[in-house]
Amino acid sequence: MALAKNAAMTTIPSPTPPDPSRFLPHEALAAQLLPHAVMSDDGSHDLAHIQRVFRNAMRIAEQEGGDRRILAAAVLLHDCVAVEKSSPLRAQASRLAAEKASAILTDLGWARPETDAVAHAITAHSFSAAIAPETLEAKILQDADRLDAIGMIGAARCFYTAGRMGSALYDPADPLAEHRPLDDRNYAIDHFAAKLFTLSGNFQTRTGGLLASERHDRLTAVLAQFIDEI
């Protein structure tokens, strides 16, 4: 009986069906692309992540400009190929997603220059790929995606991913890695210094940079409070 109760408590609820109306004024495009947007059970790269990145991207575009249709398509498809963080293919994830996005958009009748623009934005958005964004839309997507890696959401995603990878929260002998190399594969909070704290100084747009500064401060506060409690 207890086993049945525990099993019921750990059941993961079914995801809510994608709602194109959350992608106004590009709901028609969203209706076409959402079925292709997420192809994994990774809660740090799920539909909620897509929605947050879309909101970030549109907020930046309001100030910076850019082709909103290209940008919306790039946001909706930027994670359409799933590669685990621990996979040796991780650095190829954005390229694979760009190739798949190009094929999807071509099938929908998009012209080659448009599919190329979307593909470049997707390829360049990834931290792991280390490819410089050359267009405004690519810069906005990179900024919008990285905003979701810092702040309170970024901290939550960090701990979620650490649990998914089987990592410990921290090294009890040296939590801040003062006398050892950073090791974010084994300790969650090492990822703050190894990557998350480096992001805010490398945003591509002025608007993205301002938003990143606010979220960086929140991320710093999260770590400080974490350390205070251990």
DSSP 114-157: HHHHHHHHHHHH-TTTT----SHHHHHHHHHHHHTTSHHHHHHH
Measure Cα distances from 211 to 60, 102, 204 in Å. Answer: 9, 30, 12
Distance CA 120, CA 129 (A): 12
- What is the reported pLDDT for 97? 92
C-alpha–C-alpha distance, residues 6 and 191, integer Å: 32
For residues 180 and 5, give the distance between their C-alpha atoms in angstroms, rounded to a whole number.
43
**Which pTM does this prediction carry?**
0.88
pLDDT of residue 103: 96
CB 144 within 8 A of CB 75: yes
Q: pLDDT value at position 174? A: 98
pLDDT of amino acid 3: 42
Taking 50 as the pLDDT cut, the residues of the chain under it are 1-11
Residues in the chain: 230
Rg of the chain on CA atoms, in Å = 19
User: Tokens standing for 209?
Assistant: 């940079």
pLDDT of residue 41: 79
Distance, in Å, from the CA atom of 184 to the CA atom of 174, rounded to the nearest integer, reads: 13
Q: Considering only CA atoms, which of 114, 113, 115, 121 is closest in space to residue 137?
A: 121
